[in-house]
């Protein structure tokens, strides 16, 4: 379903901050999410993504700013806000002493849902999460991907119109990630608003209509994946390897080719609209890299440009 941009936003944050003592985990961020959109929060570890999610989820109190979920303030209407949401936390918190089916049942009861609704709903969700055969299994016998799918199934028990997903696929193998993406995409098609944090750029490109790049509690950039690439990177990237020792010395001779040059320990990146043309210029200068690769610019280039390449922790 295309996002309905004229309607009241389902989530609106204005100058939202969260301080832990002196430390500003979230430092004045503003955004709006219309119904049906898949909205991503991207950022390195410690950027404030999870803290923002907790405030949206109505479980963490903001320090200042305004926040409304479906027109409600999560601080004054905590249960009402949380009743609207499905939440997939960063760390699974399933009850491993209960069976797969019972994990969904007890969670449904938290919403006051009657057993007559829950019994068929649980079967439907197990089917959706491809866990039907595991219904009677203890949770601790499940693989990481299965637990993640069960957590997503659990978050859907109240048929929420907004789903909060905090790093939904971290730690999963590629197969499990693709299955999850497929499930999330189906939810999006059925009109569910997705709010997603991730530090996987391919995940953001796959799922998000629009995203914000967050760093040190602030929004660095905002837009669709394509817009962000257009605004913050070039169409193509030429990657050259001259060998670890030579990369830096060669870099000086590459000046002027493409729009921007970045020297890394293992390779030199040339950002250019036409990568092949840039490569021709390189060889025309008598430089012969050991390997060369022309690729499309990705969200990862944007991300690294905006948040830097140094480790944050």
Partner 1 sequence: MTEHRTGARPAAPAGTPGPGRAHPPAVSAARARAFGSWYYAEHVLRVMNSYRWTILASSVGTPVMYLFAMGVGLASLVDSSGAGTFGGVSYLAFLAPALLASAALMAATNEFTYPVMDGFKWRRVYYGPHASPLGTHQIVNGHIIAVTLRLAVMSVIYFAIVALFGASPSPWGWAAVPVAVLSGLAFGVPLMAYAASLTEDKGQFALVMRFIATPLFLFSGTFFPLDTLPLLLRWIGWISPLWHGTELGRALTYGHAIPPGLAAVHLLFLIALTMLGWRLAQRTFARRLGA
31 SS3 class: strand
Q: Which candidate, 224, 232, 227, places its Cα nearest to that of 206?
A: 224
Rule CB under 8 A: is residue 196 a binding residue for partner 1?
Answer: no
Burial class (CB in 10 A: 0-12, 13-18, 19+), 309: exposed
Max intra-chain CA distance, the chain: 76
Nearer to partner 1, 140 or 280 (CB): 140
> Is 150 near partner 1 (CB under 8 A)?
no
Interaction of residue 181 with partner 1, rule CB under 8 A? no
- Residue 123 as a binder of partner 1 (CB under 8 A): the answer is no
**Least Å distance between CB 122 and partner 1?**
11
Q: 135-149: buried (b, 16+ CB within 10 Å) or exposed (e) per residue?
A: eeeebeebeebbbbb
| Residue 82 DSSP class | H
Q: Which of residues 45-104 bind partner 1 (CB under 8 A)?
A: 57, 59-61, 70, 77-80, 82-85, 87, 89, 91, 93-99, 102
Closer of 207 and 221 to partner 1 (Cβ): 207
Cβ pair 74, 56 in contact under 8 A: yes
* 128 is an interface residue for partner 1 by CB under 8 A: yes
Which DSSP state fits 18? E
Q: At closest approach, how far in Å is the CB of 87 from partner 1?
A: 4
The strand pairing partners of 35, in sequence order, are none
Radius of gyration (C-alpha) of the chain in whole angstroms: 23
3 binds partner 1 (CB under 8 A): no
Q: Whole-number minimum distance, CB 151 to partner 1, in Å?
A: 9
Residue 202 touching partner 1 (CB under 8 A): no
184 is a site residue for partner 1 (CB under 8 A):
no
Candidates 7-15, 155-163, 240-248, 249-257 — which segment interacts with partner 1 by CB under 8 A? 155-163
Query: If you count them, how many residues does the chain have?
Result: 313
- Does the protein bind partner 1 through residue 248 (CB under 8 A)? no
303 by DSSP, 3-state: which?
Answer: helix
Q: How far apart are CA 93 and CA 86, in angstroms?
A: 14
* CB of 16 vs partner 1, minimal distance in Å: 17
**Interface with partner 1 (CB under 8 A), residue from 4, 141, 143, 190:** 190
Phi, psi of 193 (to 5 degrees): -80, 125
List contacts with partner 1 (CB under 8 A): 1, 20, 57, 59-61, 70, 77-80, 82-85, 87, 89, 91, 93-99, 102, 105-107, 109-113, 117, 121, 124-125, 127-128, 154, 156-161, 186-187, 189-192
């Amino acid at each position: 379903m295309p996002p309905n941009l004229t309607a009241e936003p389902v989530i609106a944050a204005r100058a939202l901050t969260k301080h832990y003592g002196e430390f500003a985990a979230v430092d004045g961020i503003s955004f709006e999410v219309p119904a049906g959109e898949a909205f991503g929060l991207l950022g390195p570890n410690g950027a404030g993504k999870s803290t923002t999610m907790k405030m949206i989820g109505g479980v963490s109190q903001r320090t200042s700013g305004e926040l409304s979920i479906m027109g409600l303030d999560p601080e004054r209407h905590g249960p009402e806000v949380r009743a609207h949401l499905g939440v997939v936390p960063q760390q699974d918190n399933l009850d491993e002493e209960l069976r797969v089916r019972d994990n969904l049942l007890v969670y449904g009861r938290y919403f006051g849902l009657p057993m007559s609704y829950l019994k068929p709903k649980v079967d439907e969700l197990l089917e959706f999460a491809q866990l039907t055969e595991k219904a009677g299994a203890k949770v601790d016998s499940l693989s990481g991907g299965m637990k993640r799918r069960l957590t997503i199934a659990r978050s859907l028990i109240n048929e929420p119109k907004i789903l909060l997903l905090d790093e939904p696929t971290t730690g999963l193998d590629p197969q499990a990630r693709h299955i999850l993406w497929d499930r999330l995409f189906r939810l999006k098609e059925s009109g569910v608003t997705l709010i997603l944090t991730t530090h996987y750029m391919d995940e953001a490109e796959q799922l998000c209509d629009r995203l914000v790049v967050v760093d040190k509690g602030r929004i660095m950039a905002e837009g669709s994946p394509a817009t962000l690439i257009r605004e913050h990177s070039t169409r193509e990237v030429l990657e050259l390897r001259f060998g670890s020792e030579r990369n830096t010395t060669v870099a000086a001779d590459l000046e002027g080719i493409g729009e921007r040059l970045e020297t890394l320990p293992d390779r030199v990146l040339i950002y250019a609209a036409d990568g092949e043309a840039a490569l021709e210029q390189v060889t025309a200068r008598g430089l012969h890299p050991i390997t060369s690769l022309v690729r499309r610019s990705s969200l990862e280039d944007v991300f690294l440009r905006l948040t830097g390449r140094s480790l944050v922790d």
